Structure formats: C-alpha cells, structure tokens
Amino acid sequence: MINKLISLCFAVVLLQGCTKLDENIYDKYTSEDFYNSKEGSDVALAAVYAQIPGNWDGVGYAGADRGWYDLNSMSTDEQVIPHRNTGDWELDFARLYLRQWLPTDGFINNTWNWLYKSVFNANLAVAQLETANADPSKIAEAKVLRAFFYYLLIDDFGDVPFFTDNNVTVDKIPQEKRAVIFDFIVKEINENVELLSSAKGGVYYGRFNKWAGYALLAKLYLNAEVYTGTPRWQECLDACNKVSEGGFSLHSGAADNSHPLGYKYFELFGDVLPDDETILAIYTRVDVVGRNIFTVRSLGGSDASALFGYSGWNGSVVPKDFLDKFNDNDIRKRQFRYGASPFGPRPAGFTIYSVELNNIDNPGANPNDGARSQKFFPAAPANSGGASNDFPIYRYADILLMKAECHVRMNNAGAGKPFVDEVRQRAGLQALSAAPTLEDIYNERGFELAWEGHRRQDMIRFGTFLLPRGLVKAAQSYRLLFPIPTAALNANPLLTQNPEYN
Amino acid sequence: MISACFILSYVLSFAQTSSMGGKITDETNQPLAGTVVSLQGNTSQKTATGSDGRYRFNSVPYGTYIVRISSIGYQEITRDILVQDGGQLIVDFKMEPIATGLEQVVVVGYGTQKRRDVTGAVATISSEDLNQGPITNPLQQISGKAAGVHVNQVGGEPGSAPNVRIRGISSLIGGNDPLVVIDGVQGNMDLLNQLPPSEIESVDILKDASATAIYGSRGAPGVIIVTTKTNRAGTTTLEYNAVSSVDAISRKLDMLDADQWWEQAQIYGVPASANHGSRTDWYDILTKNGTIQNHTLSLGGNERNFNYRASLNFISQDGVVLRSNFQNYIGRIQATQKAFDDKLSIAFNLNGSVRNTEGSPNGVYRPAFTANLITNAYLMRPTDPVLNTDGSYYTDGNVFQYINPYALSQTVVNEGSNNNLFGTVKADLELTKGLIAGIFGSWRRVDNNWGYYLPAASTMPSAIDNQGIANINNNRQDEKLLNLSLNYKSVFDNHSLDVLGLYEWQSQLYYGNFAQAKGFINDITRYHALQLGDLTRVQPGDFSSYKNDRALVSFLARVNYGYMDRYLLTASFRRDGSTVFGDNHKWGNFPSVSLAWRIDQEPFMQGQNIFNDLKLRAGYGVTGNQQGLYPQNALQLVGYAGQTYFGGEQITNYAISQNGNKDLRWETKYQLNIGLDFAVLDSRLRGTIDAYTATTKNLLFNYTVPQPPYPFGNIVANVGSMLNKGLEASLSYKLIDNSNTTLTLAANGASLRNRVLKLSGQIDGVPLNTDFVGWGTNSYLVEGKPIGSFYMLENLGKDENNKETVIDRDGNGIIDQGARSPDRYYAGGALPTYTYGFTPSFRYKNFDAAMVWRGSGGNKIYNTLRQNLSFFENIGKSNLLENAVPLGLYTTEYGSDLWLEPGDFLRFENLTLGYRFDVERIRCISSLRVSLTGNNLAVLTSYSGIDPELNVGGGNGFGSDGGMYPRLRSIAVGLHINLK
C-alpha cells in the first residue's frame, strides 16, 4: 500500500512540471519582442542619439573626458592638460599634446568602442525602422547618423572595418579603405538628405534635419583631399549653400550685461543654443543626459568654488601661442581667464592664472600656470561633475568660414572675404583689409571655433598639425592618424595597425 | 591495532550472581556518556553509560561473556570476560576515537559510508582536528588540514570569508566555489555564515568527480559537506564555548615619513605650497587593535526516539581599521522524532541568523587610483594635517579630488544587515527491510539590507556637490530545494548492495531594489529618511529594481556494490537540466564510476605484517558547471540605459544590455582519479595518495569579441578546454602513543599543474581567436600555458628623464604592448603550483598542543599597489614607498616585470595550547578546558607587500595586489565547559 503510494508520488512528480526549464525574464525585454514592437522601433532611433552626449567612461562626442573630444582637441594647439608639479593629472593627457600617444591610451580605445557601438545602434535602427515601414524621414535620419559616425571613424583612424548589417561575422568585415568608406558616406548622405525634415528646433533640436545633413556633407567635401587625395571644394561650397537655404544667420555679438561674460555671443554655448545660428546641437543636462565639463575641468579647485560654489579640476589650459594670436578687442578672447583682472566675474578669492606654461610633463606645471577657458560658462544645473551647457556640433559661423575657405582654395579669395568679415565683425573686429589668405581663414577658424572639436581636422587640412608648437617638437607624419587601439587588435587579429605604430 | 586498556579488579563476595560496573572514558580521560555496553554469554544484557560515564549490570550469572562497548565516533571494543560467582566486578574502559580509522563514517552525499568502503577521493576532518582560536568562519577551521583543499584568506576584514579552491581552478567563468552541504542543505559558500563553528561534528570534502558526480552540476568544483553535532543516545548536553582574541596588524608598508617626503618632493620640483608642515602617520590614525569574540551555548538530548539539539552563537569582530566590524547571531534548533517502531524518522531543522556589518568604505575613488579606504591612507602626504585649526576636517583645494580618509572614516555610514532563515524537513520511511523512501525539502531566505550615507563632511567631492548622498540597497534571495529518494540496502552472502534513486528540483530567485536621495539640510537622518532629500536632485539611476531566477532539475541513480568486502564499486548517473542555457542545450548527463580494491583483505596478504591497511582506488566521472553563469546570459535583452533627448524632450533610453548567445551549453569536467590508502607500522603511519587529471571542456568564459561587429566587447560562450592535474598526499604518524602521551605528526601536500589546452572555438559559426585573452593584471589565457600567465615587458632601467624603459625584444624600435607582442616574455604564472600543510599535535595527560603551518608557492604576484606607490610623478599629491627612492622612477608607460614578485610563503598559522581540568569532584561540570591560541604568528616570504596571500581564486584582482584590508595577528583565549 505504502509502496504504491510512494511510486504514485514519484510518477506524478516525474510527469509534471519537473522538466520545465524555460528561462523567466522579469525585468527586461527580449530584443526580438522589443524591437519588433512599434514602441521599440521608435526608440531605436532615439537610442542612436543617446550615443552622442559625452559622459563618463569616454563615451560621446563632446561634454565629458577621455573620449572623442579629448582625442581630437588635446592633440592640437588649442588645449592641453599639463601634468602638475603637485602630482595632479596623469601624463596621458600631456602625451596627446606632445603627439606621443600610445595605442594603449584610453582615449583611443574609448573613441573606437564608442564609435563602433554607435554604428551598431545606427545599423539596428535602420533595420528596425525599415522592417516597421517607418516614415522614410526617420529611416533617412538613421542612415545619416550612421554616415556621421563613419565620417568620424575615417577622420581619426583612416582604413577601418565597415559594415551596415549587424548580422555579420567578423571575418566578413575587413578593414575598408578610407576613400571607399568616404564614397559610401557621401552617397548615403546624398541619397537621404532631402528626405530629412527641414524643421529647425523644437522636436528636431539636437537631431539631423536637412540642414545638419548638408553641414555634414560639406565637412566630408571640405576634407576630401585628406581622405581621398582629391579635393572637392566646389561640392563643399554647394553643400554650404544648401545649408544657407535653411535661413541661418549669425547670432548677435552685442554687449549684454546679463551674461556673466558680457556678450550675447556666449549664448551660443549656453543652456539651449539659439536656433538662428545653431545647426546641430547636443542637448545636455548634467547627470541626466550627458554633461559639459569643459569649464569646471579647466578652472582650479578653489577658483571654481569661489565662482560657482563647487570645486574645479585644475585641468585643461590654453597654450600661450594659441592665446597670443587673439586680438585684444576680440570679444571671443573673453572665453579665457588669466591674469590679475580676468574677464567675467571676479569673486573674492578668485585665482590669478599666469599665461605662461613652462612645463607639461616632467616635473609638470605650477598649479596656477596656464590660461583657462570659460567659454561654456556653466549653465544650471551644474556641479563639480559638469554643467548643463549644450554643445554645438555645427553652427553657421563654421559654414561661413568653410564657404570662404572654398573660395580661397579655388583661387577666388575675393568672393570669400564677406564671409570672413561677417564672422570677424560679429566678434567686434574690423573687416579684413585685403582678400583673405588661407592663413587668415585658418586663424579665424581657431578664434571662432576654439574648443569646439574642429581643430585637429583643420590643422591637418591646413598642414600645421605636425609642426613644432609652444614647448614641443615637430611630430612625424604617421601621427596624422591615430593608431588602432591595442585592445581592438587583441580582440581581432585580422586588423592591421596603422603604419609605424608597430 | 590501537590498544584499549581496561582494568579489572575484584572484590570478593558470596552472592550467586555478580554485579558488574565501571567507568568509560574517552582518549582524554573524560567520561563518555551514552556508550552502549552489552554482555553476551549465559544471558544477554545491555545498558548505556550516564553523564558520569558509568555503567552497571546488577545481576550477572557466572560465566564467560563477550563485552561489547560501542559509542558513535569511537572504535568498538570487544573483550572476553570471566564473571565469577558473587563478585563485584569493576571494569573500566578507555575508548579511542576512530577519526582516522576504517570505521570512521564518511559522508559521501545523499548518504554515508564507512571509510573502508569509500571508493572516491574524500578527505574527512573531524571536530577534534579542526583549527581552534578566534574563528569567525567555519572555513578557517579546516585551513591547512586537507591535501588539495586550498583555503585562502585575503586580508582580515571583519566578516570576510576565506576563499576555497579544491584542486585548483577548473572553470574560467566562476562557479569555482565548492558546493556547501550542511546536514543535507545545499548552498553557496555563504551558507557557512549560518553555522556556529563549534557545532561542527565533521567536515567531509569530496574532491574527485566520482565522489562529486552525485551532486551533478553543482558538485564540479568539489563539495564541502558539514555534519553538525547531535547528541549520543541517552545523553543530554549543556555546553558553553567561548573564545576571545586581541588582534593587531601583522605587517605595514614602509612609507616615507614627513622629512623624507619633503626631501624627495623638493628634488622633483614640488612647490612649497604643497607642504603643509604636519607630521601625520595616516595609516596609524586609521587603525587600532581589534578584537574577536565567539560565544556558543548548545543544548541537546537524545532520549528513546526523540533527539534534539539547539544552539545559540554570537560572533563579534571589531576590526583593526576604524569603524569596521561585524556581529553574527545564529540560532538553530534540530529535532528528530522516530515513529512506527523506528521505521519512520522525521527531522526538522530551523536556523536563523542575523549578521550586522559596519564596513570601512570600499572603492574609494581618486584619479587613477581606486581602492579601499585603508589603502587610500598610504597615498596621503605625511605633511598634511588631519584637522584644520577650527577642528573641521582638512582638505587641500589645490589637489584634484582630494580625499581626507580620516574624515571619510569618521563620517560615512556604511552598514548592512543580512538576515537568513532556513528550514528543512526530512522524512525517511522504511518500507520493507532495507528499502527506505525519503523526502527532503529546504527553503532558505536571505534578506540583505544595506544603508549608506555619505555626508558633505566626508570630503568626498560627490558628497560635497550633492550635500549628502543617502541610499538603501535591498537584495533578497529565495532558495528552495526538494528531493524524493528511494534507497535500498542489502547484504547477502558475500555481496553488499546500496542503491539510491533520486529526483531533485531546486530554484534560486534573486530580487531587490535600490533607492537613493541627495541634498540633505543636515546629516541627522542619515539614510533613514530618504524623503527628506532634495527632489530636484533626483537623477536617472537613483532608483531601480530587478528580479531573476534559475532552476535546476535532476534525476540521479547510484549503486554501491561490494563483494567479499574486498572489491567495491560505486557507479552513479545524474541528468541535470538548467534554465540558464540556450533552448537546445539545457540538459547534461553526468556519469561516474569508481572502484576500490582492499588489497589487505586478500588471502595472499594474510601472512604479511607490513600493511595494516591497503586500498587501491580508481574513479572516473563527469561533472558540469552552470552555477558560474548568471541567469539570462543566453539571451539578447533590452534594458534601461539612462535618459536620452529625442523629439524635444527627455525620454527613457532603451539599449541592448549584452551580447546574447543562444548556443550556451554545459561546461563539463572529465576527471580521473587514482588513489592509495595505506596504514603501516602497526597503523601508526597512515597515508593517502591521490593522483588526478581533470579536463574541462566547453569552457564557459566571458570571451573578448571584436567591436565591430559586436556592440559589446565580451560574450559569454563555450570555447576551449583546460587541464588540471595533480598529486596529493597526506600522512599522519603517531610518533608517541601511550596512555599519557600522544604525539602525532601530520602533513599534507598537493601539487597542481594547470594548462589551457585550447582556446579557439566558434561563435556564430566563425572561428574566434581567443588566445592571449587578458585574465588578471598583465596575465593572460594562453594555449599551452597555465591560466593567468604573466607575459611581461622586461624592465631595462630608466632614461635620462627617469622614465622607465623596457627591453625591445624584437628590436624594431617600438614597444608593442599588444597581448601577443613579441616584446613580451613569459615570466611565470599567477596560480600556485603547490600547497602544503604541517599539522602536528601533542598531548600529555591533561595538556594538549597543536600547530598549523601551511604554505603555497610557485606563483608570481603582480604588485599593483607597489607600482602605484613608486612613481615620483605623483609625489606632489601622494606619499610613496621608502623603496621607491632607490628606484628613482618618475613615470612609466608600461606595466613591466619590475612589479612582479615571487608569491611563495610559509605561514605559522596557528598554535593552540590547551589544558583540561580534572573536574571529577565538581558536581555540575563534566568537562572544562581552557586554551590559548596564537594566529598568524609568522610568515616566511620574500614578497614585499602586506601579505602574499592574495586572490588566486579567479575573478576580479586575480594574481595582483591592489591593496587589502590589513592581515591580523591574533592572540586568543578559549574556554569550553560541559555541564551536567
């Protein structure tokens, strides 16, 4: 009797439920379910944009540290974070300025990983939106975003792995020639740019509308000679003119006592960037969507405390040779703080920074050496981890200077003069006395676009990137490209390192 | 044979029958209660000793009798005795424990066997061999005691448990922690936190696959089976154990003092503004002497068919770093009732514990350096003051992200409570003779609640920004297990048979939540009133919750067969299914077989006098690993990824949270073990030798994959295989063994060779080259080498700017830092290749002494902390090691072999001296012992860091020293009282 009971119990257990081994998912969505839903395809596009604000761990285009922005800015003449003789700041920042970066340096790996994760997200968005038969403008937007990331990849690394479908294995994505990817990007933008919305601001703030698409196309053509060996100045000019159809104008440069730096010009780097000039912005709200550390990172600890009530990092400074080029009447010079009576607020206990910087690596600079930047004068909410200033990726002043450059490059310098003058006069300077030279354009780009992430590309195009600067020697030509990061080579032995890095 | 002495004496009398009585004592001359004494002859009689160890037969007729004395845990005594008429016969017996004997009961998983019948590699440590002293975790009691069982303690943080590896690391993903089974309840290592250390009767460690296969997937890394004390039949107990220790820091690093720092700082151009003129020993002010208390009260009884035991345990440790301590409260009660003429047995077990921890903060971040709080003290300039003149905590606004560790230690609130409750029920019913049906269920709930408050006064930049950060972290686990079994035992002619069939289901559910608030007007409410925080500071990540689970279903069968007590066979088969694998790979089959041959029982051995025991064992088994894998790794999932801005507003961002792998399957280990047990020299010398090889295939690991095309740089996959092989020996020699004195020399040693056999495999159908995957700091997984192989750049010296230079081995002018770089060379491995222990014990009359020496070696340590404290680029903001001065390095671009040091050590781990008082004349006390223990009395090593015992168990920080909580040196006194 008992035997029977027991065996019955066993039988019941064995037959029922005891072999159910499906995995329960309580707190996430499976990717198939999620991306095949309408809600999922909508947010796939938003998730690509989520890649752009800068944040910790070196992700994003600009706003935080150790990522794309630092790599493309600290390697130029416009900024450096010197090692301090008080022990602050690791030497990898100085290595960027010295153009002695190593393939193991975090900036390079972070940038690579960020860009390829962005490409993956963009591929995913394109696939999901196409599957969901989404609005063609959205599909076009995802494709242009992908083109943007590939443009950044070939700009920094040259020949890179190329794929547009995520269902691919690594052996199918060899390194593609820079010029081939260039052709893809140009074709992709040309095919999609007219599908993009022409609306500005509002729901398109921080997104690729038609005008941002043409600005990106113009950038490709502007640097075509660097990427392919063949200049495309006329195409660049045409694309810039397309941007102008969007009805942009330079934002006012008038004096304005309500701004801490005294001029409306600095609203271009504030909380919400003005629609008149801004073509593509990064929306930022510290600790929520990205962050903007550029001023707090630059100012000294107690100086920032005196100014804003939270501590500064005593990090990035403006090299003297770059600062010295500014005219004293240029309102744009007010973006820097130095000397006993600096621009902007002077609270009790503010720090006097010297313009001189005697050493950047061994034994390092004195604590208060080097002029500082307050261009992105912190917008609330802000703390020692950054502020909420939005960041301009493309703005109309850049387009005007690109137009001028195209004219000069095509031996029509006179036609370029009004564009340069427009930018100069907004900044409180006189018009040029003669038709602009390439050097005029180069310098003006430095004044107007300082610390906005364009400098490396400009210096390479104008042939100044490798020259000696300030305290440091000339660099060898292989430094025009960054190395493929060591970690990427470790993970994928099929990759070939850029020349002379190993 | 171990002799049992007995004393006969007669008092003549004139009655027809005699009375017979006496006292039975244990090896330490303590009365042994509950011992069964039986007489067989003209009449058969049976009695048991009382708590005074005395027995008595009132009426024994004249004749010759066989007396049998038996007591659990002791060797049975059989004697022929002549009882004469009318006498009063007094016969005293002294019993010897069977700790090392063949009759010792060995717990083999879902059952027990006698030592002589065991066919696998099983080490047993009984209560008298456990280490004594200030024990806070039961694992400390077996350290150094068993060959191939490496108990590794990193630092001395209160509440931190040692790490255990049985026969090394056989999995890369994790799941190398042995399965813990306490009285049938299966769990992870944290289950041991619920066990009063002094309540352990014995610890059995299943080492080879033929022994562990019965536990299937969870048994692959070995099994630690703990059996707790129960009362002997007819006895009651009231026991009190106490240990109290004083702990000091065993070793500190030699840092520059204030004068030395300033002298060096000036050489490296540090401005005078960085010298604040104080003389502060930061390490000293953040540390003190610690204490450990351990008190246990146990009571129990075993009368007729009811058996119970209950205990209360309190462990308290006040750490050597300020504000680090823990208290553990454990209460447990077990009761067993028999019914139906002892055919039905039902056992209940209820166990609750509360564990309160106050922790010194971990993960204190400053630029380019993250470590625990006490390690941050090394970085402090000795010229910085602790306090400002107004009594507030000093900070230096000119140093980026300056932290005052004393301020942090005084102001941070970092405390948690871990509440455990588990209950089990086990019912066994004997259906017919030899056939037992059983059901076993256990349910364990763990609530872990952690509260944290970081006030602005802590000097942490994030706390200053936010005017205080408070958070509460609740994590819960629910673990359930049910098994149903049928067990048949039979002995007929020369055959013995033991068959087990079992179905088992277990599930583990994990869920929890996190909430955080910032911006408090004062620090009064700490983390107890999050609603008082500033709502405008709420950010993504300030609140979250999660839930996931896993289940495992198993069927198993096992046969133990013995023929003529000479030829023994154990065969088992287990089929496991786990939820964590891909759809088509959920089930795995795990067979095992082992054989033993008791050579000394053969007729041809009867004439020899060399071997008192000789047994040859061989076993082969397959086990699986799924426990190292977290739930949901097989799937590509979409989860929360912060906020993004899109369509003119901030919206929730969703993102793929990992690379999914639908092909995830069981990792399997194939292990072959050959062993020999022997006893010679009249059983004074006993030994066990085992040799094994274990090959792990389908190695699970978080492999590096190329980005592109993967969105993440890692994927969990089955790729490659790995070999572990080793030799283990334990020897025990009774040098002196007489009634007053015993001196036993015991030693064990194990060698371990690990080799990665293959690392290439396929993912998504594409060959994936995973050779030279980083595993630890500068160490790699490389085919043909042990896991954690250091491939290093070789230090050459320094250049004219005092920058470190390394050898350009391929001479191409470029130092390639890639994993496969020709500039690297093989500089050793992170895994110890041998471990050993020496555990002599001595007893003279009431005095006893025991020692534990243990060591390991053959490994290298990457001294990350020394590297961090050696470069003069940091001296402006940080203190450096004294030995950095002769090196004179300003900076480096490499992690070179300059920081690689030998990891060999020998530790004098434990010395215990005990004295047992004669309490015969004291009415209420049946035994009383006091002891004195010294712990970690000496370490012989050439390693320059704080302690050479580091993480060699895999995972974070493997093979390197990033700074640890100080290691303790303790002196403890102990008291053990048994009341009657």
Q: How confident is the model at residue A471 (pLDDT cuts 50, 70, 90)?
A: confident
Out of A63-77, A434-448, B28-42, B528-542, least confident range:
B28-42
Strand B905-916 to strand B925-941: parallel, antiparallel, or no bridges (unpaired)? antiparallel
- Give which of B220, B217, B208, B122 is closest to B171, Cα–Cα: B220
Tell me, yes or no, whether A383 and A497 share the same domain: no
Chain A contact probe: residue of B380, B645, B762 with most A CBs at under 10 A: B645
Are residues B829 and B784 in contact, defined by beta-carbon separation less than 8 angstroms? Answer: no
Domain that holds residue A103: 40-196+472-502
Tell me, yes or no, whether A181 and A53 share the same domain: yes
CA distance, residue B222 to nearest chain A CA (Å): 25
Q: How many whole angstroms separate alpha carbon B42 and alpha carbon B55?
A: 19
CB B397 to CB A486 under 8 A?
no
What confidence score (pLDDT) does residue A32 get?
80
- The CA R_g of chain B, rounded to the nearest whole Å, is 31
Tell me, yes or no, whether A179 and A62 share the same domain: yes
Judge whether residue A12 has pLDDT over 60. no
**Residues of B in Cβ contact (< 8 Å) with A168:** 709
What confidence score (pLDDT) does residue B8 get?
42
The partner residue sitting opposite B636, judged by closest CB among A27, A31, A364, is: A31
B382: phi > 0 → left, psi -120 to 50 → alpha, else beta; which?
alpha
Are residues A69 and A75 in contact, defined by beta-carbon separation less than 8 angstroms? Answer: no
pTM reported for the whole predicted model: 0.90
Tell me, yes or no, whether A170 and A73 share the same domain: yes
CA distance, residue B813 to nearest chain A CA (Å): 9
A85 belongs to a structural domain: yes
Are residues B708 and B682 in contact, defined by beta-carbon separation less than 8 angstroms? Answer: no
Distance of CA B664 to the CA centre of its chain: 29
What confidence score (pLDDT) does residue A7 get?
54
Tokens of B389: 């003149």
What confidence score (pLDDT) does residue B94 get?
84
pLDDT in tens, B127-136: 888 999 999 9
CA distance, residue A103 to nearest chain B CA (Å): 8
Q: How many whole angstroms separate alpha carbon B595 and alpha carbon B562?
A: 10
The three-class DSSP label of residue B558 is strand
Tokens of A447: 């004044």
Q: How many whole angstroms separate alpha carbon B559 and alpha carbon B111?
A: 12
Q: How many whole angstroms separate alpha carbon B597 and alpha carbon B420?
A: 44
CB of B912 less than 8 A from some CB of A: no
CB B646 to CB A202 under 8 A?
no
Tokens of B558: 């096992």
Percentage of residues of chain A with pLDDT beyond 90: 86
**Residues of B in Cβ contact (< 8 Å) with A199:** none
Tell me, yes or no, whether A61 and A153 share the same domain: yes
Are residues B957 and B779 in contact, defined by beta-carbon separation less than 8 angstroms? Answer: no
Is the reported ipTM for this assembly greater than 0.90? yes
CB B400 to CB A89 under 8 A?
yes
CA distance, residue B528 to nearest chain A CA (Å): 24
Residue-range domains of chain B with CATH: 6-94 (2.60.40.10), 105-228 (2.170.130.10)
Tell me, yes or no, whether A45 and A171 share the same domain: yes
The three-class DSSP label of residue A307 is helix
- Of A389, A423, A444, the residue at which a domain comes to its end is A389
CA atoms within 13 A on the CB side of B240: 9
CB B400 to CB A315 under 8 A?
yes
Q: What CATH number does the domain containing A115 carry?
A: 1.25.40.390
CB A21 to CB B706 under 8 A?
no
Residue bearing tokens 């960041």? A391
The three-class DSSP label of residue B876 is coil
Q: How many whole angstroms separate alpha carbon A122 and alpha carbon B685?
A: 72
pLDDT in tens, A38-60: 777 778 899 999 999 999 999 99
What confidence score (pLDDT) does residue B776 get?
83
CB B400 to CB A35 under 8 A?
no
Tell me, yes or no, whether A188 and A292 share the same domain: no
A24 belongs to a structural domain: no
Which helix (H) or strand (E) covers residue A418, if one does?
helix A413-426
CB of B845 less than 8 A from some CB of A: no
The partner residue sitting opposite A492, judged by closest CB among B539, B637, B706, is: B706
Chain A contact probe: residue of B344, B487, B587, B646 with most A CBs at under 10 A: B646
**Residues of B in Cβ contact (< 8 Å) with A28:** 632, 637-639, 657
**Residues of A in Cβ contact (< 8 Å) with B643:** 50, 288-289
Which helix (H) or strand (E) covers residue B181, if one does?
strand B179-182
CA distance, residue B208 to nearest chain A CA (Å): 28
Name the domain count of chain A. Answer: 2
- The CA R_g of chain A, rounded to the nearest whole Å, is 25
CB A362 to CB B577 under 8 A?
no
A214 belongs to a structural domain: no
What confidence score (pLDDT) does residue A3 get?
53
CA atoms within 13 A on the CB side of A174: 4
Tell me, yes or no, whether A49 and A174 share the same domain: yes
Judge whether residue A109 has pLDDT over 80. yes
Are residues B635 and B706 in contact, defined by beta-carbon separation less than 8 angstroms? Answer: no
Chain B contact probe: residue of A490, A492, A497, A501 with most B CBs at under 10 A: A490
The partner residue sitting opposite B877, judged by closest CB among A20, A86, A170, is: A86
The partner residue sitting opposite B503, judged by closest CB among A10, A163, A366, is: A10
A329 belongs to a structural domain: yes
CB of B362 less than 8 A from some CB of A: no
CB A116 to CB B707 under 8 A?
yes
CA distance, residue A44 to nearest chain B CA (Å): 8
Tokens of A65: 């540290």
**Residues of A in Cβ contact (< 8 Å) with B644:** 46-47, 49-50, 53, 289
What confidence score (pLDDT) does residue A14 get?
52
- Of A389, A422, A439, the residue at which a domain comes to its end is A389
Beta-carbon contacts of B316 under 8 Å, excluding residues fewer than 6 positions away, are B291, B292, B293, B294, B325, B326, B327, B328
A157: phi > 0 → left, psi -120 to 50 → alpha, else beta; which?
alpha
A237 belongs to a structural domain: no
**Residues of B in Cβ contact (< 8 Å) with A119:** 708
What confidence score (pLDDT) does residue B88 get?
80
pLDDT in tens, B932-959: 999 999 999 999 999 999 988 777 778 8
- Give which of A324, A288, A370 is closest to A93, Cα–Cα: A370
pLDDT in tens, B213-262: 788 777 888 999 999 998 877 778 899 999 999 999 999 999 999 999 99
Are residues B668 and B219 in contact, defined by beta-carbon separation less than 8 angstroms? Answer: no
Q: How many whole angstroms separate alpha carbon A486 and alpha carbon B831?
A: 26
Neighbouring C-beta atoms of residue B567, cutoff 10 Å: 15
Are residues B50 and B23 in contact, defined by beta-carbon separation less than 8 angstroms? Answer: no
As a whole number, the mean pLDDT across chain A is 93
What confidence score (pLDDT) does residue B232 get?
78
Chain A, nearest residue to B658 by Cα: A31
A207: phi then psi, degrees, rounded to nearest 5:
-125, 160
- The four Cα atoms B183, B184, B185, B188 give a dihedral, to 10 degrees, of 90
Are residues B807 and B713 in contact, defined by beta-carbon separation less than 8 angstroms? Answer: no
A90 belongs to a structural domain: yes
A452 belongs to a structural domain: no
What confidence score (pLDDT) does residue B16 get?
64
CA distance, residue A411 to nearest chain B CA (Å): 42
A290 belongs to a structural domain: yes
In order along chain B (980 residues), what is the average pLDDT of each group of 10 residues? 39 61 80 83 82 84 86 80 78 75 73 82 88 91 92 90 90 86 86 90 89 80 91 85 96 96 96 95 96 96 89 96 95 93 92 94 81 92 96 91 94 95 94 94 95 94 91 96 94 92 93 96 95 92 94 93 92 92 88 93 88 94 85 84 92 87 89 95 92 93 81 84 95 91 95 91 71 85 92 96 96 92 95 96 94 96 96 95 97 95 96 92 89 96 95 80 93 93
Q: How many whole angstroms separate alpha carbon B707 and alpha carbon B691?
A: 43
- Of A389, A407, A427, the residue at which a domain comes to its end is A389
In terms of Cβ atoms closer than 10 Å to its own Cβ (0-12, 13-18, 19+), residue B178 is: buried
Chain A, nearest residue to B895 by Cα: A104
**Residues of A in Cβ contact (< 8 Å) with B793:** none
Chain A, nearest residue to B780 by Cα: A490
Judge whether residue A106 has pLDDT over 70. yes
Task: DSSP letter for B932, please.
Answer: E
What confidence score (pLDDT) does residue B479 get?
93
Q: How confident is the model at residue A11 (pLDDT cuts 50, 70, 90)?
A: low
CA distance, residue B823 to nearest chain A CA (Å): 11
Q: How confident is the model at residue A13 (pLDDT cuts 50, 70, 90)?
A: low
Are residues B819 and B772 in contact, defined by beta-carbon separation less than 8 angstroms? Answer: yes
Tell me, yes or no, whether A166 and A312 share the same domain: no
What confidence score (pLDDT) does residue B101 get?
63
Residue type, B934: G
The partner residue sitting opposite B651, judged by closest CB among A46, A168, A490, is: A46
First-to-last CA distance in chain A?
Answer: 81
CB A31 to CB B437 under 8 A?
no
Residue type, B738: N
CB B503 to CB A161 under 8 A?
no
Q: How many whole angstroms separate alpha carbon A478 and alpha carbon A466?
A: 9
What confidence score (pLDDT) does residue B835 get?
96
Are residues B658 and A30 in contact, defined by beta-carbon separation less than 8 angstroms? Answer: no
CB B711 to CB A314 under 8 A?
no
The three-class DSSP label of residue A167 is coil
